[in-house]
């Protein structure tokens, strides 16, 4: 039995195309599935989506592999107690996933909209640190279960009802499962650190809170992975110096 077969298939769904947005690798539509608010994520090799620089067969295989990877990542995360959207429907033929629509915003939007309204207020800074710590704990739980997200950014974390202490993870298309090394986990954290620095001003303390939460969840894993993170940072600085 194919992995996708464990999800519902064969039902109709209504697409509201005005809710579409284009991502780097997929299009996201607002839709309704069996009366439930949902989104549809479509990775397609049709001409309007195709990557011109890729061979069509390679593009099709990559799209299908990433869809399967995303499903496996979501299922594994849920097994580990990590919050993700529920998957409702999978169309493996056209590389579509219909999943729960979360009533919330990305962590990126939450941080920047609050900064715009409140500036660097004491409450905003305190909430940022609390969010960072909760995020670090969730990532540590994920890593301890041998799941690496692969694309950790504040745009791939959703906060429902502004609940910054319960991050919801999305976009597992680049996830790694199974036997993952401390190096892989360190790279996951490094990707998040670089994303935070490039997206949010003065985010260093927030990332320090991420590491605090990460180490606090499991000290043995935390020490080993953060040591690897330091090595990865050093390699990155050397590359920057040498061009």
Q: Which residues are catalytic?
A: 151
According to DSSP, residue 125 is labeled H
Q: CA 75 → CA 82, 154, 240, distances in Å? A: 10, 21, 37
Backbone angles phi, psi at 199, to 5 degrees: -105, -35
- Contact indicator for 88, 34 with CB cutoff of 8 Å: yes
Question: What is the distance between the alpha carbons of residues 64 and 59, in angstroms, rounded to a whole number?
Answer: 9
Terminal alpha carbon distance of the chain: 49
**Structure-token pair, residue 182:** 């401390």
**Structure-token pair, residue 48:** 């309007």
- Contact indicator for 182, 105 with CB cutoff of 8 Å: no
């Amino acid at each position: 039995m194919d992995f996708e077969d464990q999800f519902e298939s064969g039902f109709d769904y209504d697409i509201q195309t005005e809710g579409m947005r284009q991502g780097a690798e997929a299009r996201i539509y607002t839709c309704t599935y069996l009366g439930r608010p949902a989104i549809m994520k479509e990775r397609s090799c049709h001409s309007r989506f195709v990557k011109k620089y890729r061979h069509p067969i390679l593009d099709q295989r990559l799209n299908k592999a990433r869809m399967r990877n995303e499903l496996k990542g979501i299922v594994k995360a849920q097994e580990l107690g990590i919050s993700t959207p529920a998957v409702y429907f999978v169309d493996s033929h056209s590389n579509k996933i219909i999943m729960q629509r979360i009533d919330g915003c990305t962590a990126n939007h939450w941080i920047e909209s609050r900064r715009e309204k409140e500036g660097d207020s004491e409450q905003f800074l305190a909430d940022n640190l609390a969010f960072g710590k909760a995020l670090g704990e969730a990532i540590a739980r994920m890593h301890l279960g041998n799941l690496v997200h692969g694309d950790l950014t504040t745009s791939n974390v959703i906060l429902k009802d502004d609940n910054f202490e319960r991050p919801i993870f999305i976009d597992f298309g680049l996830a790694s499962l199974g036997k993952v090394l401390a190096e892989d986990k360190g790279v996951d954290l490094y990707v998040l650190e670089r994303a935070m620095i490039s997206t949010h001003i003065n985010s260093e303390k927030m990332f320090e809170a991420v590491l605090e939460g990460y180490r606090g969840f499991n000290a043995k894993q935390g020490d080993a992975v953060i040591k690897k993170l330091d090595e990865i940072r050093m390699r990155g600085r050397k590359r920057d110096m040498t061009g």
